[in-house]
Structure 1
Amino acid sequence: MTTLFISDLHLSAERPDITACFLRFMAQEARGIDALYVLGDLFEMWIGDDDESPFHQQVKQAFRALTDSGVPCYFIHGNRDFLIGRRFSEETGVTLLPEHSVIDLYGTPTLILHGDTLCTLDEGYQRYRKKVHNRFIQWLFFRLPLRYRQQIGHKMRSGSSQSNQMKSQAIMDVTPTEVLKAMNQYQVRQMIHGHTHRPDVHDILVQGQPAQRIVLGDWYDHGSVLVCTPEGCELETRDFPAELATLSTPA
């Protein structure tokens, strides 16, 4: 009995090493498990379900093969792929979950989320997030031709990278009080999230009771997987295929 969690792969055609590691993971390790949860930022950029590039088709086919094999797959939107919608779900068999979801993880109620909502000290990002999640703004965006949306997406990605370089590490990490607030709100003692790219298991106290916050790792230098069984959870890494492992990591 095994459930796997991944996030922050930032898949793109420019990183075939990450893609190859992901495809191998999907075709081998993810087969026969109880469930796979993807907690956001699966893609470096997603500007609409109508982007049917060969690269996107390859990734969607990997999900379809896994769900067709009987493995349930679940997805929570990240800050890079919050526009993934119903069409993606129908084509892949992946179930889209609310941004904050509580699951029963082998008897332990667990709050799962991408994690960006916990970074409340990054006020600039939170203002941006509120705007791009506005349904009317999204409606207008989807009315643009695909090529224009792609151009906007690339500009936004470049602007985000430059902005993050100017921010302190503390601002870009979760706000401890927000973590406690969320765990109290959902009445859980275990939380799993990504976004910060700082894999770790944090032992904390929630209302005086022992609790854990598990942070998933990114896939920039190697694959990162949280492996959960009835005995507990463990963060593990996966090497890139040897023939692609020497590719440089982007800034």
Structure 2
Amino acid sequence: MADTKIYFASDQHFGAPTPELSFPREQKFVAWLDEIKKDATALFLLGDLFDFWFEYKTVVPKGFVRVLGKLAEIRDSGIPVYFFVGNHDLWMHDYFQKELNIPVYHTTQEFTFDGKSFLIGHGDGLGPGDKGYKRMKKVFTNPFSKWLFRWLHPDLGVRLAQYLSVKNKLISGDEDVRFLGEENEWLVQYSKRKLETKHYDYFVFGHRHLPMTIKVGENSSYVNLGDWIGYFTYGVFDGKTFELKEYKN
């Protein structure tokens, strides 16, 4: 891929803690999208773009028009955009695909760019531990659970889900935002285990809200993209190297 400039971002949590307080972060993210569209050859969004998202048959949560409009503009310009659901927007279905022509992934995916192999995903529920959240995720992703929730009026359903998203850490899957040490970082351990059966140059995840790059093999690195709440960090791959950067605008 000539003149590669692939961008990665994760964990914006737009709508939290309130739409009003979230709005400046949305504006900053849209400004970043406006900048990268000048040289991006692809954009990866690794989940939790929204603090809550649910797709009824004819309704989606209101708001986020500026973000969605900018993503539509980027995609319409011919730049590929890939979206991975996180633990806060895991009830995403095909709205992005139909409305924005953006594919949505619910599991990790492999990509190869300029001879470099990537394993990409949000990161929730991977690796050892986190058993409580893993059990809860099975409940929430069960088709019957989604069917029951769909019968709630959107005004009630969205309000309930937003409350639980903030208050119930077992449901949200959020962990303490502090570095736990390589031996206790589950995504580091997950990456090392994956290398036992197949080589990847880069493991790129979100979910932890901590920007970090850690060597997990002689020629392999685990990258966490951080977030757009306190760090405003993103990743960029130029065809040779992967860098974490902070957007300071």
Pairing of 1:178-189 with structure 2 (within 5 A): 178-184=190-196, 187-189=199-201
1:230 aligned counterpart, secondary structure: coil
Q: Secondary structure at the match of 2:66?
A: helix
Deviation string, structure 1 residues 49-99 (Cα, Å, up to 9, x no partner): 62252x233322111111011111000100001112212321122111241
2:212 counterpart residue number: 200
CA contact (8 A) 1:32 1:71 kept: no
Task: Choose the corresponding residue for 2:42, options 14, 35, 38.
Answer: 35
- Work out which of the residue numbers 19, 24, 37 in structure 1 matches 2:26: 19
SS at match of 2:125: helix
Q: Indicate yes or no: 2:227 matched with 1:218.
A: yes
Change (3 A) 1:114 1:225: same
Q: Does 1:138 align with 2:150?
A: no
1:51 and 2:35 correspond:
no
Unaligned runs of 5+ in 1: 241-251
Kindly state the Cα deviation for residue 139 of structure 1 after the two structures are TM-superposed: 2.1
Measure, in 2, the Cα distance between the counterparts of 1:74 and 1:62.
14
Q: Paired residue for 2:162, among 132, 154, 166?
A: 154
- Provide the secondary structure at the position in 2 that maps to 1:118: coil
The question of whether the paired residues in 1 share the 8 Å contact of 2:90 and 2:106 is answered with no
Indicate the RMSD between aligned Cα atoms, in angstroms.
2.5
> 1:151, CA displacement in angstroms?
2.2
Picking from 111, 117, 133, the partner of 2:125 is 117
- Deviation at residue 4 of structure 1 after TM alignment: 0.2
Change (3 A) 1:174 1:60: same
- The Cα shift of 1:189 comes to 3.6
Partners of 1:222 and 1:52 lie apart in 2 by: 26
- TM-score under structure 2 normalisation? 0.84
Which residue does the alignment assign to 1:106? 114
**CA distance in structure 1 between the aligned counterparts of 2:82 and 2:207, rounded to whole angstroms:** 17
Deviation at 1:141, TM superposition (A): 1.5
SS at match of 2:13: coil
How far has the Cα of 1:17 moved from its partner? 1.9
Q: In the alignment, is the contact (CA less than 8 A) between 2:123 and 2:187 conserved in 1?
A: no
Q: Is the 8 A contact 2:11 2:209 kept in 1?
A: yes
The CA distance in 1 between the partners of 2:187 and 2:26, in whole Å, is 32
Q: Could you report, residue by residue, the CA deviation over 1:85-131 in whole angstroms, capped at 9, with x for unpaired residues? A: 21232112211124110001221111001011225322211111111
**Aligned CA distance change for structure 1 residues 203 and 44 (closer, same or farther; 3 Å):** same
Give, in angstroms, the shift of residue 33 of structure 1: 1.1
1:10 aligned onto 2:18: no
What is the aligned counterpart of 1:65 among 66, 70, 73?
A: 73
SS of 2:79's partner is: coil
Q: Percent sequence identity over matched residues?
A: 23
C-alpha distance in 2 between matches for 1:187 and 1:27: 34
Distance in 1, Cα, partners of 2:243 & 2:156: 42
Whether the 8 Å contact between 1:4 and 1:30 is mirrored in structure 2 is no
User: Given that residues 101 and 112 in structure 1 are in contact (C-alpha distance below 8 angstroms), is that contact kept between their aligned partners in structure 2?
Assistant: yes
Matched residues, number: 236
The residue matched to 1:155 in structure 2 has which SS?
Answer: helix
Judging changes above 3 Å, is the alpha-carbon distance between structure 1 residues 111 and 31 closer, same or farther for their aligned structure 2 residues? same
* Counterpart-to-counterpart distance in 2, 1:130 and 1:104: 30
